[in-house]
Amino acid sequence: MVSINTVIGATTVLFGFASLLLISRARSRLSPGSIREYIDNFSICLAFILIFSMWQTGRSIFGKEISVTDFSGYPELMFIAFAYIGFILVSYRVFKISKEFGFKDEGREIENIVKGKKKK
């Protein structure tokens, strides 16, 4: 009988592959620029999380438990650490994109103009 951890792990891996496929298709439709670079960084993070999920699912299938002294736990920790480092880089990229495309102040001015026209 297959354990629930194996089923959840396999489902997670399938969703990960589907996400990578969708993001790849979305990336191919974008012109070069900061949003495409963001998608590249996001894809790398997603790939590390997918590898992490695959590693855990493989351990579940083969019944391998990890311990602090066992080597099998280290790659798992490295995959998730690289994913978090990638998310830090992606967050910085989003911050840069917000500076490039953000128009919060102009949006307030437009809102005030629209409110002013409604009052008349």
Q: How distant, in Å, are the alpha carbons of 42, 55, 56, 108 from that of 102?
A: 20, 39, 40, 12
Count: domains in the chain:
1
Tokens of 120: 């008349």
Q: What is the pLDDT along the chain (120 residues), one digit of tens a residue?
A: 777 878 888 888 898 899 888 888 888 888 888 788 888 888 888 898 898 888 888 888 887 766 556 666 677 777 778 888 888 888 787 777 777 776 667 777 777 888 887 766
How much is the pTM?
0.64
Domain region containing 113: 4-119
